[in-house]
Amino acid sequence: MATQSRTELLAAYRTMATMRAFEERMHIEFAGGGVPGFVHLYAGQEASAAGVCANLTDHDVLLNTHRAHGPAIARGADIFAVAKEIYCRGEGLCRGRGGSAHLHDTKNGLWAANSGVGSGVALGCGAALAARTRGTGGIAVALVGDGAVNQGVVSEGLNLASIWKLPLVVVVENNGYGEATAAGYAIAGGGIARRAEAFDMPGVQVDGSDYFAVFEAAAAAAERARRGKGPSLIEVEVTRFFGHFEGDAQTYRSRDEAERARRERDCLANFRRTVVAEGILDAGELDLVDTDVADLIDRVYAEAEAAPYPPDDELMEFIYADSL
Amino acid sequence: MSDSAGITESTDTAASTETAESTEMNMLTAINHTLHREMARDDRVIVLGEDVGANGGVFRATEGLYDEFGATRVVDTPLAEGVILGASVGLAASGLVPVPEIQFLGFVYQAFHQLAGQVARMRYRTRGRFHAGITIRAPFGGGIRTPELHSDALEGQLCNIPGLKVVMPASAADAKGLLATAIRDPDPVLFLEPLRGYRLIKGQVPTGEHLVPFGRAATVTEGDDVVLVAWSYMVEVCRRAAGKLSDLGISARVLDLRTLVPLDTEAITSAVEECGRAVVVQEAPRTGGFASDVVAEINDRALWSLEAPVARVSAYDNPYPVGLLEDDYLPDVDKVVEAARRTVEAS
Domain extents in chain A: 12-310
Name which of A5, A79, A23, A55 is nearest A267 in CA terms.
A23
Nearest CA in chain B to A125: B87
Nearest CA in chain A to B260: A324
One domain, residues B184 and B272: no
A273 to chain B nearest CA, in Å? 40
Inter-chain residue contact A321 with B163, CB threshold 8 Å: no
Between CA B15 and CA A13 the distance in angstroms is: 62
Give a yes or no: residue B4 inside a domain. Answer: no
Inter-chain residue contact A125 with B87, CB threshold 8 Å: yes
Cβ contact A141:A62 at 8 Å: yes
Confidence of residue A323 (pLDDT cuts 50, 70, 90): confident
Confidence of residue A119 (pLDDT cuts 50, 70, 90): very high
Nearest CA in chain B to A115: B117
What pTM does this model have? 0.94
One domain, residues B247 and B296: yes
Q: Which of B211, B228, B256 is the last residue of a domain?
A: B211
pLDDT of residue B128: 87
One domain, residues B201 and B226: no
Give a yes or no: residue B17 inside a domain. Answer: no
Chain B touched by A163 (CB under 8 Å): yes
pLDDT of residue A39: 95
Which of A98, A111, A157 is closest, CB to CB, to B86?
A157
For the CA atoms of A5, A11, A15, A17, what is the dihedral angle to 10 degrees? 100
Inter-chain residue contact B93 with A119, CB threshold 8 Å: no
Q: Which domain holds residue B55?
A: 25-211
One domain, residues B207 and B241: no
One domain, residues B37 and B173: yes
pLDDT one-digit tens code per residue, B274-333: 999 999 999 999 999 999 999 999 999 999 999 999 999 999 999 999 888 999 999 999
Which of A104, A105, A122 is closest, CB to CB, to B83?
A122
Q: Is the pLDDT of residue B131 over 90?
A: no
Q: Which of B160, B188, B211 is the last residue of a domain?
A: B211
Q: Could you tell me which residues are beta bridge partners of residue B129?
A: none
Chain B touched by A59 (CB under 8 Å): no
Q: Which of A93-107, B38-52, B95-109, B218-232 has the lowest mean pLDDT?
A: A93-107
Q: Which residues of A touch B95 (CB under 8 A)?
A: 130, 134
Q: Which of B159, B184, B211 is the last residue of a domain?
A: B211
| Region A253-273 average pLDDT | 95
| Region B86-100 average pLDDT | 96
pLDDT one-digit tens code per residue, B78-89: 999 999 999 999
Cβ contact A105:A63 at 8 Å: no
One domain, residues B117 and B200: yes
One domain, residues B231 and B337: yes
Cβ contact B65:B36 at 8 Å: yes
One domain, residues B204 and B303: no
CATH of the domain at B321: 3.40.50.920
Nearest CA in chain A to B125: A98
Q: How many domains does chain B have?
A: 2
Which of B2, B78, B185 is closest, CB to CB, to A160?
B78
Residues 249-308 of A with CB under 8 A from B: none
Chain B touched by A321 (CB under 8 Å): yes
The CATH code of the domain at A12-310 is 3.40.50.970
Quick one: what percent of chain B has pLDDT higher than 90?
90
Which of A96, A130, A153 is closest, CB to CB, to B90?
A130
Give a yes or no: residue B31 inside a domain. Answer: yes
One domain, residues B244 and B157: no
Strand order of the β-sheet with B311-315 is B218-221, B252-256, B226-230, B278-285, B311-315
Inter-chain residue contact B95 with A134, CB threshold 8 Å: yes
pLDDT one-digit tens code per residue, B203-216: 999 999 999 999 99
Cβ contact A12:A1 at 8 Å: no
Phi/psi at B247 (5° precision):
-60, -30
Give a yes or no: residue B308 inside a domain. Answer: yes
pLDDT of residue B17: 65
One domain, residues B238 and B266: yes
| Region A141-156 average pLDDT | 96
Inter-chain residue contact B80 with A160, CB threshold 8 Å: yes
One domain, residues B229 and B246: yes
pLDDT of residue B2: 33
Radius of gyration of chain A (CA): 19
Confidence of residue B263 (pLDDT cuts 50, 70, 90): very high
Give a yes or no: residue B156 inside a domain. Answer: yes
Q: Which residues of B touch A131 (CB under 8 A)?
A: 94
Tell me, yes or no, if B210 is annotated catalytic. no
One domain, residues B46 and B140: yes
CA-to-CA separations, B128 to A301, B107, B289, in angstroms, rounded? 25, 29, 30
Give a yes or no: residue B1 inside a domain. Answer: no
Which of A94, A106, A129 is closest, CB to CB, to B87?
A129
Give a yes or no: residue B56 inside a domain. Answer: yes
Nearest CA in chain A to B119: A123
**Cβ pairs A/B, distance under 8 A:** 146
Q: Is the pLDDT of residue A111 over 90?
A: no
